[in-house]
Structure 1
Amino acid sequence: MTEYRTRTDLTQPLAPADPGVRVLDWAPGSPTATIQLGKQAGARFLDGWRAPREALDLFLLGATTYCVDKTALRSAAADGWTRSLQVAIPVADPKRWRGTDIGSVLNFLTGDQWTIDVYEEPRSPIEGLRRVPSEVTPVGPVDGVCLFSGGLDSLTGVIDLLEEDSNRRLCLVSHNEGGQASTAQERLLHELRGHYGPDRLVSKQLFLRPAPLNSSQQRPLPHHRENTTRARSLLFLTTALALAASVGPDTPVYIPENGFIGINVPLTRARSGSYSTRTTHPHFVNGLQEAVHRLGVSNPILNPFRLKTKGKILAETLNPELLKRLAPHSVSCSHPEAARYVQKRQGNCGYCFPCLIRRASMAHVGWDTDPQHNYAWDALTGEELLDKSTARSADLRAVINGAFNDRPDRDILRNGPIPNGEHQAFVRVWRDGLRELQDWLRGASDHTRARLERHGYL
């Protein structure tokens, strides 16, 4: 078991008898921190607003679990995947936390065994920060908080929410550690503000990660990093919940992602584990909502696209002209920096699972042939993907096999249970998503289709 302890009061002594405990020091803007918040010395993300303490404790949980996830290597686990993680977190009301099973929510999300211990800390995690108000203060005059990754689903979600109600104002929350994701977020935000006006959008961009080693830290974190991070969605959601709670207890958090990716049925039996993320799986969202309600945070978590495929959300968008113009600037990729190693354009790689779903959805609305939608690798024409069994071709081969195999309805339960009696509704979403993939592949050029047939895919 790997043990972690988060401290918001850095005057607490470290236990010399147990040097194996990894310490996550929360000290925004200070070089002593091992949780880095902000690119520079200042923690500007927290400026000008303050959430109730219950929501701030949730935000600290999200930051803690993200940094734990990033610094505990799966390769060290007995099975190469499932880690045993024990985490101690300071909170205002330990009794209330012990009445929730947040560990089970994390177990489902990341595929690990989490033990969440809490200890009392009267001092707020944002106490003493100069630009943070002393009383609960809203992040801005907004009606909701929307997760904004810079991907195609979140872009469509923002457009539809603003089009649906001309008076609606949103706070967009994003998380990045730099790179192509932050570039896409900034470009799209600029374009959205230009179209809808700056008064309808408040942006909060979170830069948070395990801090690099420096001499001021009392107990630095290991330098290695895990790249299969699954706890990022908890960081994303707890941050959004804190922002929403600063406005009011009923202010909604929107998490726009298509239902096909939400349930994320494994494409093949070999792809359960590491390939089947549960970022917006309805069982995870439902469990998290129940847990945060018990912790005193009542803001609803809503996914407006939960029963739609990616192609359907594009086809039904409330402003197709704007979406079509901005879509090329969105990044839906799992590893958008991969192309730089072979001197290709960075952005959407074209061969990962999210890129393939993106292309099928674009084909559904006739946008896939638009030359503006550049991919570093073309899944339907690149020989190294179609004709060779390589690491880059793994997702394409799995998508082809998964789309054309005859599969029973019960397979939608392979990545988790479906709550609230919505089994059949999600079966329809899954089947519709598979048809979008089939239509895209069957609509390929004669040359490409012949190659797929030669390999037994069609």
Structure 2
Amino acid sequence: MRRFTFIGRMGVSDNGPIPHVQPDTTPIDIQFVDTFRRLEYGIGSALDALRVLGLTPKEVAVDLVVLSALVNAADTRISRALNSQNGWTREIDLIIPVSDVRLWDDQARLLERLLRFLTGDLWRVFFRSRPAGFDRIAQPPTNLALATFDNVALFSGGLDSLVGAIDQLASGARSLLVSHYWDSETSKAQNALLHFLERHYPKQEIKSLRVRLGFDKHHANTGEIEDTQRGRSFLFFALAVLAASALGTNSQVLVPENGLIGLNVPLDPLRLGSLSTRTTHPFYMARVNDLLSQLRLSVALTNPYRHFTKGEMVAGCKDRGFLQEIVGQSMSCSSPAKARYRKLSPRHCGTCVPCLIRRASIVFGLGAVDPTLYTVPSLTARKLDTRAAEGEHVRSFQLMIAKLAANPAAAKVLVHVPGPLSDAPQEIPQFVGVFERGMAEVAQLLRSVTAGPI
């Protein structure tokens, strides 16, 4: 087991020794500036794109993106199996160059708390001043703003974000769509959906900000890799905040995510830690909003669909006919590339938790044949093996469905298991309701499905 310290560097002259709190730590330098003094890893491209739109983000928002990129580097390049005493919890230090050390120092404990909740790791964050010459990174535009925006909306390429974008466009709102990607399948889905949206809403002049940001062995040479990626939403949020900080005061970042996934109640005890994500949990989003407020960014995250199941989102889409035409282009699967093991092109697996909720939502919300390509095209053609990936999550859902059928009151307790709901106690009955209805959608999908050891 090793403790790592990820150190953000800015420029070739930023190469001096930086003290480590942990003497036995393994330091990993991440150079954020290229030879042309431009930020690497897609951040510079994002700033350029905003500048073309006539937008200048705040320097504190640039700090937030650099911080989130360091989180992403550590999260994806430190193996949990090799560097945790319990098979899950890692110990990670970050040292981040920022524009205002005093302001960021005051947020250290809040940051550590929200990152611990998000990823399950023990984080410590430290700040230092940016090196000379980097006082101002976001350069002001030379032209007037080409467009005005009502808000910023996350656009992942998934079904929920597609419904969110359609609802905004169909309502006449002008949203700046912000996307993050690393793998090619996510990028393809985002590009395809943007193409269809632009063609269907030609008068809206849709604007998007797409950022490819990630770290391979050439960027963070730890000799390790980690696929769980629990910290990815922090990076996604930071990129959206970067854009929103340039829109003016009281800017909104829309986070379109159904309430069942937002809560992500563990389906069985094994899913509480390693298999249960908290990327849009209400407690986590509340802590991010606390951070944005403390940083005086005048930006707030909001999930307008937090009380809707995925099926209800689909059914209530403001242009359901158009959604039905292009729903197959969206990407919900957690591992589409694994189809290659069956000598198939990348596609939805059809049996992971996001795929099962997707399948249920299309049946519930569209009442039509699902056009999505699945590695397992039919859930009822044969018995699914619960000792393999194809049946593991089906069985977990079936166990939870049976538990709720035997004791419906359990839902009122289970919604609190993933994390506190104390930030909005008046919404707790709605969270219970969305959990119950979401599970009922999946139960309807699985009513004729047989799963067990084969």
Query: 2:111 maps to which residue?
Result: 102
Which residue in 1 is equivalent to 2:417? 414
Deviation at 1:30, TM superposition (A): 6.5
The reply on whether 1:152 has 2:159 as its aligned counterpart is yes
Decide whether the 8 Å contact of 1:349 with 1:376 is kept in 2: yes
Q: Does 1:376 align with 2:375?
A: yes
- Mapped to 2, the partners of 1:122 and 1:140 lie a distance apart of 34
Q: 1:239: Cα distance to partner?
A: 0.6
Report if aligned partners of 1:4, 1:23 keep a CA contact under 8 Å in 2.
Answer: yes
SS of the equivalent of 1:381 reads coil
Say whether the 8 Å CA contact 1:51–1:137 is kept in structure 2.
no
Q: Distance in 2 between matches of 1:141 and 1:300?
A: 18
* Matching of residue 402 in structure 1 with residue 400 in structure 2: yes
Question: Cα distance, 1:379 vs. partner?
Answer: 5.4
Q: Report the CA distance shift for 1:62/1:198 in structure 2 as closer, same or farther (over 3 A).
A: farther
Distance 1:7 1:111 in 2: 26
Give 1:126 shift.
8.9
Task: Determine the C-alpha separation between the residues in 2 that align with 1:188 and 1:325.
Answer: 11
User: In the alignment, which residue of structure 1 is the partner of 2:47?
Assistant: 46
The match for 1:63 among 69, 86, 93 is 69
Within 1, Cα distance between the matches of 2:202 and 2:167?
15
Q: Please give the TM-score of this superposition, normalised by the length of structure 2.
A: 0.88
Output the CA distance in 1 between the equivalents of 2:63 and 2:137. Answer: 16
My pick for the range that moved more, 257-266 or 422-431, is 422-431
Match of 2:196? 191
What's 2:298 paired with? 298
Deviations 1:318-364 (A, max 9, x none): 11101111111101000111102211232211011100000111111
Cα separation, 1, equivalents of 2:36 and 2:349: 36
Describe how 1:185-334 pairs up with structure 2 within 5 A: 185-197=190-202, 199-213=204-218, 221-334=221-334
Q: Within the alignment, does 1:177 sit opposite 2:186 as a pair? A: no
Partner of 1:217: none
Give the secondary-structure state (helix, strand or coil) at the position aligned to 1:300.
strand
AA in 1 matched with 2:30: L
Indicate conservation of the 8 Å contact 2:311/2:364, yes or no.
yes
Q: Shift of residue 255 of structure 1?
A: 0.5
Runs of 4+ in structure 1 deviating by more than 3 angstroms, as ranges, are: 16-19, 28-33, 122-129, 132-140
Instruction: Tell whether the 8 Å contact from 2:11 to 2:34 is kept in structure 1 after alignment.
Output: no
2:388 corresponds, among 384, 390, 403, to 390
Question: Secondary structure of 1:350's match?
Answer: coil
Residue 380 of structure 1 and its aligned partner are, at CA, apart by: 1.3
- Aligned-residue sequence identity (percent) comes to 32
Amino acid at match of 2:26: G
Residue segments in structure 2 that go unaligned for 5+ positions in a row: none
Q: How many residues align?
A: 432
Q: By how many angstroms is 1:373 displaced?
A: 2.2
In structure 2, give the amino acid aligned to 1:415: P
Report if the CA contact (8 A) 2:268-2:396 is conserved: yes
- The superposition leaves residues 76-102 of structure 1 with CA deviations (integer Å, 9 ceiling, x where unpaired) of 211111011111111122222222211
CA shift for structure 1 position 113 = 0.8
**RMSD of Structure 2 on Structure 1 (CA):** 2.6
For the 8 Å contact 2:10–2:131, the answer to whether it is kept is no
Q: How far is 1:426 from its partner?
A: 0.4
Would you say the 8 A contact 1:50–1:139 is kept in 2?
A: no
Distance 1:170 1:212, change over 3 A: same
CA distance in 2, matches of 1:111, 1:341: 30
CA contact (8 A) 2:92 2:123 kept: yes
**CA apart distance, 1:64:** 1.3
Q: Give the 3-state SS of the residue equivalent to 1:392 in structure 2.
A: helix
Which runs of 5 or more residues in structure 1 are unaligned? 215-219
Counterpart Cα distance in 2 of 1:381 and 1:158: 33
1:344 match: 344
